[in-house]
Amino acid sequence: MRSLIFALLATPALAETPMTGVEFEAYVEGRTLSFGTLGNPNYGVEKYLPNRQVIWSREPGQCVDGVWYEQGEDICFLYEHDPEPKCWRTYRTENGIRAEFTNRPGQSAIFETVDSPDALICPGPDLLG
Distance from the Cα of residue 86 to its chain's centroid: 10
Beta carbons of 73 and 81 less than 8 angstroms apart: no
Q: Which residues contact 9 (CB under 8 A, 6 or more apart)?
A: 38, 98, 109, 111
| C-alpha to C-alpha distances, 88 to 49, 73, 107, nearest whole angstrom | 18, 9, 11
3-class state of residue 9 by DSSP: helix
**Residue 6 — very low, low, confident or very high, per pLDDT cuts 50/70/90?**
very low
- Model confidence over 47-87: pLDDT tens digits? 999 999 999 998 888 999 999 999 999 999 999 999 999 99
**Residue 125 — very low, low, confident or very high, per pLDDT cuts 50/70/90?**
low
Which pLDDT score is estimated for 15?
A: 53
43: closest CA among 75, 93, 88, 13? 88
- Model confidence over 80-93: pLDDT tens digits? 999 999 999 999 99
**Residue 39 — very low, low, confident or very high, per pLDDT cuts 50/70/90?**
confident
Beta carbons of 74 and 102 less than 8 angstroms apart: yes
Structural domains in the chain, sorted by start = 2-115 (2.40.128)
Mean per-residue pLDDT for 6-31? 76
